[in-house]
C-alpha cells in the first residue's frame, strides 16, 4: 500500500533529519559524462539508499547475514516467481552469495547483481524456444496430466529437459483455458438462431489451433515487453529487494515510478478505475475506485486475478508472469475505448469482463453522505474513502473540513445517529484524522507518535466543541489501514462509539515519508536518481497500544468473504513488530449508558442471521479454494472442475442477491445538484443501491437504533403519533 502520511511534510523533525542527511552526503560527488547504465551510478545509488535509510528509518535493520538472506530470497523471487527461467544449477551457483550480499552492499560490490542479471537474460532468451516448441503442434487434451501452480513450493528444474516440460505444461494450461472459453462462445452462438445463421460452427481442431495461436501471441507479446526493459529496470528490482527488507513500506522509486506515484497522488486518470497488485506470477485486483467504470460495472471484484487482457475485439494477451507495470499499460487507455479482461474469480471460475474506459474523477475520493430511516428515526451514513488533503493549498478541500460539513448537513436533516464508514480506506493525512476524531469528542488526545529517536509526541483535538454527541458507529474492514485505524482506535478507546466490521483492520501502524534522492548529491550528471519512501515514525493508540500488525479489533466482528484469507500486515514476513508505550491522559466518554447492552444485542442478532452464516461458509470455502493449486489438463476433467465450481457457487448466489429493508437518499442540496448532473445522479443511485444490498450497513443502523435511549424512543413515538412539531 502506497500510503503517505502527508502530515509529515509539515513536521519540522523530519526536516531536521533531511537537513542532517544533506550535510552528511555533501561529500558525494558524481562522476561526469557517465551514461545512465553506468555501474558507477548503481554503486552511488546503493550507497545513497542505504545511508538515507540507516539515518532516517524508524528502526533500521542491521545489514548482516540475516538481512542478506532476506534480500537473496526476495530478489530471486522477484526475478523468477514462477520458477520457469532459472535452473537448479543456477541457484546452486547463486547460493554462495546468500550471506554475502550485506558485504557487497557495504563495499558497493555489484558482483551478485551482475551474475543474476546476465544469467536471467540468457535464460529468458532460451525460454523463447521452449514455449514455441511446445505450441508448434496440437495438444492432446485427452491425456491425463495436471499442472501445479503453487510456485512458492515448486522446486527449480534440475535440467533443461525438466524446464522444457514445465513450460509445456504451463502453456498447455493457458491454451486449455482459452479453448474452453472459445467452445463456450460457440455453444452460445448455436443457441442463438440469428448468430447461428450468420456463421459456420468451428471444429474442435480449429478452436484448438486458435487457442495455441492466442497463447503464442500472448507469450511473444510478453517477451517483447521484457526485451524493452534495460539494465536500469532490473537494477531497480535489486534495489527494491534491499529497501523492502527494512520493512514492507520502505521502497525505492525509480524516476519513471516516481512520476507514476505523483500521478496516483493527484487522483485523476483515464482507465478502468482499479488498483492492481502483484502476487507471485499473477496480477490481482486490490481495490476498485468508487465511481470508476470497473466499480460501476459490478463484475470485477477485489481479489480477482487477471489472466488475459484484450483491446476491443483484438485477441487477448496472456499477462500471467508479466510485470505489473506492463499489465497496467495494457489495461490503461483513452476514455471511451474498450478493454476485455479474462479473470479468475475467488471461487476459481474464469470470466471475461468487458469494460469501457473512462476518466476516474478525483471527486470520488471525497466524502459523501446519505440518510435512512428506521422506526421513526433518521440516521446518517458518511462514507470516507480517503483522508485527503493538499498541504500546498490551504484553501483546498480536505477530509477534516468536508466531514465537518457533512455532519452539519446531517444535523440539519434531524438525524439521530451517524455511521462513519471507512471500509477500504487505506489512509492518508494524519492531520485530517485528528480533525475528524475531534468532531465526536471533547478536547483530548487522538493519537501518539514515536520517532526514531524515541521521543513521543501526542496529537490533540484542542477544540472543546463536540460537533456530534449522538450515537456513533465506525465501520472498518481488512483494508482499513493507517489513518482509518487511528480514527477507529480513538473512537474505541474513548468508548465514544461502536466499531464494527471485520475481525480486525489491516494493521499498518507506521508513517512513511518520500525523500527525493537528488537533493543529497552535487554535480549530478547521471540524471534523475529517483526517490525513497521510508518508514520514519510509528503511531500508537491513546491507550498505548500500537495498531501495527494487530490493527483495530472490532467491538462487533462480522464475517465477510475475506475472513480467512491472508491479506493483512501480519501476513508479511518482515513487518515491523507490535509494541506499546505509556497511555495518554484521556477521559472515557460517559454519555452513552447502553454501550455494552447494544454490543450484546448485535452479537445475538448475528448468531441467528442465516445470511451471515452463509457469508462465513463462503469465506471458509474461498480459503479452501485458495489452497488448491493443481489443475487438470484433461479437457473433460477441466470442464468438470469448472462446472463443479459453478454449481458450488450457486449456493452462495443469495449473498449477491441480498437486499435489506432500508431506502437510502441523498441530502436535499445534492438532490438539487443531481437534477442538473445526470452523472452524479447515476453515481449516487449506484451507491444507494449498493447500500441497500449491504448487510453490514444494515447492522450498523440496527446498532444506532439500539444506542438510542428509552426516553428518545418514547419521544420519537409521540412525535409520530401526535405530529408534534418541536422548535428549539
Pairing of strands 368-374, 472-476: unpaired
Which member of 41, 172, 308, 508 is catalytic?
508
Cα–Cα distance, 485 to 476 (Å, whole number)? 8
Strands 282-288 and 305-311: antiparallel
On whether the CB atoms of residues 427 and 483 are closer than 8 A, the answer is: yes
Question: What is the secondary structure of 283-351 as a DSSP string?
Answer: EEEEEEPTTSHHHHHS---TT-EEEEEEETTSPPEE-TT--HHHHHHHH---TT-EEEEEEE-TTS-EE
Mention every residue, 6+ apart, whose C-beta is less than 8 A from residue 5: 427, 428, 429, 430, 482, 483, 511, 512, 513
The residue assigned the cell 455511521 is 419
- Which region holds residue 56: left if phi is over 0, alpha if psi is between -120 and 50, else beta? alpha
Distances (CA, A) of 584 to 129, 458, 494, 540, 581: 65, 8, 11, 10, 9
Joined together, the cell numbers standing for residue 104 give: 557487497
* Kind and range of the H or E run holding 499: strand 498-501
Smallest Cα–Cα separation from 144: which of 635, 689, 558, 665?
635
The residue length of the chain stands at 728
- Identify whether the C-beta of residue 252 lies closer than 8 Å to the C-beta of residue 517: no
Q: Burial-class residue 62 by CB neighbours within 10 Å (0-12, 13-18, 19+).
A: exposed
Q: How far apart are CA 242 and CA 56, in angstroms?
A: 15
| Rounded Cα gap, residues 579 and 547, in angstroms | 9
pLDDT of the residue at 26: 37
Q: Are 713 and 705 in contact (CB under 8 A)?
A: no
Cell numbers for 243? 529497501
Question: 315, 238, 351, 342: which is closest to 642 by C-alpha?
Answer: 351
3-state secondary structure of 77: helix
681 is catalytic: no
How far is residue 592's CA from residue 728's CA, in Å, rounded to a whole number? 23
Q: With beta carbons less than 8 A apart as the criterion, state whether 542 and 532 touch.
A: no
Q: How far apart are CA 625 and CA 578, in angstroms?
A: 31
Q: Three-state SS for 428?
A: strand
What are the b/e assignments for 337-358, b being 16+ CB within 10 Å?
A: eebbbbbbbbbbbbebbebebb
**pLDDT tens digits for range 667-683:** 999 999 889 878 788 88
d(CA 713, CA 374): 11
Nearest CA to 319 among 217, 230, 227, 229?
Answer: 217
Look at residues 103, 106, 99 and name the one whose alpha carbon lies nearest to residue 66: 99
**Cα–Cα distance between 153 and 530 in angstroms, integer?**
35
pLDDT score, position 385: 92
* Structure-block grid coordinates of residue 131: 514455449
Q: Round to the nearest angstrom and report the end-to-end CA distance of the chain.
A: 48
Sign of CA dihedral 191, 197, 198, 201: positive
Comparing C-alpha atoms, which of 208, 206, 143, 205 is closest to residue 169? Answer: 143
Residue 200's Cβ-count burial label (10 Å; 0-12, 13-18, 19+) is: exposed
pLDDT of residue 31: 38
> Does 482 participate in catalysis according to the annotation?
yes
- If we measure between CA atoms, which residue out of 556, 538, 559 comes closest to residue 547? 538
Q: To which H or E segment does residue 76 belong? A: helix 65-79
Give the 3-state DSSP-derived string for 615-655, with helices as H, strands as E and coil as C. HHHHHHHHHHHHCCCEEECCHHHHHHHHHHHHHHHHCCHHH
482, 484, 546, 632: which one is catalytic?
482
User: Do the Cβ atoms of 373 and 345 come closer than 8 Å?
Assistant: no
Residues in Cβ contact with 175 at an 8 Å cutoff, skipping those fewer than 6 apart? 135, 139, 208, 211, 212, 214, 215
Cβ neighbours of residue 76 closer than 8 Å, sequence gap 6 or more: 86, 91, 94, 116
pTM of the entire predicted model: 0.78
Selecting among 326, 398, 461, 493, the annotated active-site residue is 493
521/62 Cα distance (integer angstroms): 25
Contact of 27 with 51, CB cutoff 8 Å: no
Query: Which H helix or E strand runs over 282?
Result: strand 282-288
pLDDT < 70: residue spans in the chain: 1-37, 196, 228, 256, 258-269, 280, 290, 361-364, 391-392, 709-728
Compute, in degrees rounded to 10, the torsion defined by CA atoms 59, 510, 571, 52: -40
> What are the tens digits of pLDDT across the range 48-97?
988 899 889 999 999 999 999 999 999 999 999 999 999 999 999 999 99
Amino acid at each position: 500500500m502506497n500510503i503517505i502520511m502527508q502530515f509529515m511534510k509539515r513536521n519540522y523533525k523530519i526536516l531536521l533529519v533531511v537537513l542532517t542527511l544533506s550535510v552528511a552526503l555533501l561529500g558525494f560527488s558524481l562522476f561526469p559524462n557517465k551514461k545512465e547504465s553506468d555501474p558507477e551510478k548503481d554503486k552511488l545509488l546503493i550507497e545513497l539508499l542505504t545511508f538515507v535509510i540507516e539515518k532516517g528509518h524508524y528502526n533500521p535493520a542491521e545489514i548482516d547475514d540475516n538481512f542478506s538472506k532476506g534480500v537473496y530470497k526476495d530478489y530471486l523471487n522477484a526475478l523468477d516467481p514462477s520458477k520457469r527461467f532459472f535452473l537448479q544449477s543456477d541457484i546452486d551457483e547463486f547460493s554462495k552469495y546468500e550471506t554475502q550480499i550485506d558485504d557487497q552492499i557495504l563495499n558497493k560490490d555489484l558482483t551478485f547483481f551482475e551474475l543474476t542479471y546476465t544469467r536471467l537474460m540468457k535464460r529468458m532468451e532460451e525460454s523463447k524456444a521452449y514455449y514455441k516448441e511446445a505450441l508448434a503442434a496440437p495438444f492432446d487434451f485427452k491425456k491425463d496430466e495436471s499442472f501445479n501452480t503453487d510456485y512458492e513450493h515448486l522446486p527449480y528444474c534440475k535440467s533443461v529437459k525438466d524446464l522444457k516440460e514445465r513450460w509445456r505444461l504451463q502453456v498447455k494450461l493457458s491454451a486449455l483455458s482459452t479453448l474452453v472459453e472459445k467452445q463456450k462462445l460457440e455453444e452460445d452462438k448455436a443457441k442463438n438462431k440469428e448468430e447461428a445463421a450468420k456463421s459456420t460452427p468451428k471444429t474442435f481442431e480449429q478452436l484448438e489451433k486458435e487457442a495455441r495461436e492466442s497463447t503464442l501471441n500472448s507469450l511473444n507479446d510478453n517477451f517483447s515487453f521484457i526485451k524493452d526493459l534495460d539494465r536500469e529496470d532490473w537494477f531497480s528490482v535489486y534495489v527494491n529487494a534491499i529497501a523492502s527488507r527494512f520493512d514492507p513500506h520502505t521502497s525505492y522509486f525509480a524516476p519513471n515510478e516516481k512520476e507514476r506515484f505523483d500521478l496516483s497522488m493527484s487522483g485523476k486518470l483515464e482507465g478502468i478505475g482499479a488498483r492492481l497488485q502483484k502476487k507471485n506470477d499473477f496480477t490481482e485486483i486490490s481495490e476498485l475506485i468508487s465511481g470508476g467504470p470497473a466499480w460501476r460495472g459490478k463484475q470485477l471484484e477485489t481479489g480477482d486475478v487477471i489472466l488475459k487482457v484484450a483491446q476491443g475485439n483484438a485477441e487477448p494477451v496472456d499477462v500471467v508472469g508479466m510485470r505489473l507495470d506492463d499489465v497496467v499499460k495494457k489495461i490503461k487507455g483513452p476514455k471511451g475505448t474498450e478493454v476485455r479482461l479474462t479473470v479468475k474469480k475467488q471461487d476459481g471460475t474464469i470470466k471475461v469482463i468487458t469494460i469501457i474506459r473512462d476518466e476516474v474523477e478525483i471527486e470520488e475520493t471525497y466524502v459523501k453522505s446519505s440518510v435512512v430511516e428506521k422506526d421513526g428515526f433518521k440516521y446518517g451514513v458518511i462514507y470516507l474513502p480517503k483522508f485527503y488533503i493538499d498541504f500546498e493549498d490551504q484553501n483546498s478541500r480536505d477530509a477534516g473540513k468536508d466531514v465537518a460539513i457533512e455532519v452539519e448537513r446531517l444535523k440539519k436533516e434531524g438525524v439521530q445517529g451517524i455511521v462513519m464508514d471507512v471500509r477500504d480506506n487505506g489512509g492518508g493525512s494524519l492531520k485530517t484524522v485528528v480533525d475528524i476524531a475531534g468532531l465526536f469528542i471533547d478536547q483530548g488526545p487522538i493519537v501518539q507518535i514515536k520517532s526514531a529517536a524515541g521521543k513521543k509526541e501526542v496529537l490533540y483535538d484542542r477544540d472543546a466543541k463536540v460537533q456530534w454527541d449522538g450515537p456513533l458507529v465506525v465501520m472498518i474492514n481488512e483494508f482499513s489501514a493507517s489513518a482509518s485505524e487511528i480514527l477507529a482506535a480513538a473512537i474505541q478507546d474513548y468508548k465514544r462509539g461502536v466499531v464494527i466490521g471485520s475481525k480486525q483492520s489491516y494493521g499498518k501502524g507506521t508513517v512513511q515519508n518520500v525523500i527525493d534522492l537528488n537533493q543529497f548529491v552535487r554535480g549530478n550528471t547521471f540524471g534523475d536518481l529517483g526517490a525513497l519512501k521510508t518508514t520514519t515514525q510509528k503511531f500508537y493508540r491513546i491507550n498505548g497500544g500500537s495498531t501495527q500488525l494487530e490493527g483495530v479489533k472490532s467491538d462487533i466482528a462480522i464475517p465477510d468473504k475475506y475472513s480467512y484469507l491472508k491479506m493483512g500486515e501480519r501476513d508479511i514476513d518482515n513487518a515491523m513488530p507490535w509494541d506499546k508505550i505509556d497511555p495518554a491522559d484521556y477521559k472515557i466518554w460517559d454519555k452513552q449508558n447502553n454501550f455494552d447492552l447494544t454490543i450484546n444485542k448485535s452479537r445475538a442478532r448475528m448468531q441467528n442471521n442465516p445470511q451471515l452464516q452463509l457469508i462465513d461458509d463462503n469465506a471458509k470455502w474461498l480459503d479452501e479454494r485458495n489452497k488448491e493449486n493443481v489443475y487438470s489438463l484433461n479437457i473433460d476433467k477441466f470442464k468438470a472442475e469448472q462446472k463443479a465450481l459453478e454449481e458450488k457457487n450457486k449456493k452462495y448466489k443469495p449473498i449477491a442477491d441480498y437486499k435489506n429493508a432500508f431506502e437510502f437518499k441523498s441530502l436535499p442540496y445534492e438532490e438539487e445538484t443531481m437534477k442538473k448532473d445526470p452523472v452524479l445522479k447515476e453515481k449516487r443511485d449506484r451507491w444507494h443501491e449498493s447500500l441497500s444490498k449491504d448487510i453490514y450497513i444494515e447492522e450498523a443502523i440496527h446498532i444506532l437504533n439500539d444506542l438510542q435511549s428509552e426516553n428518545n424512543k418514547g419521544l420519537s413515538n409521540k412525535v409520530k403519533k401526535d405530529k408534534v412539531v418541536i422548535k428549539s
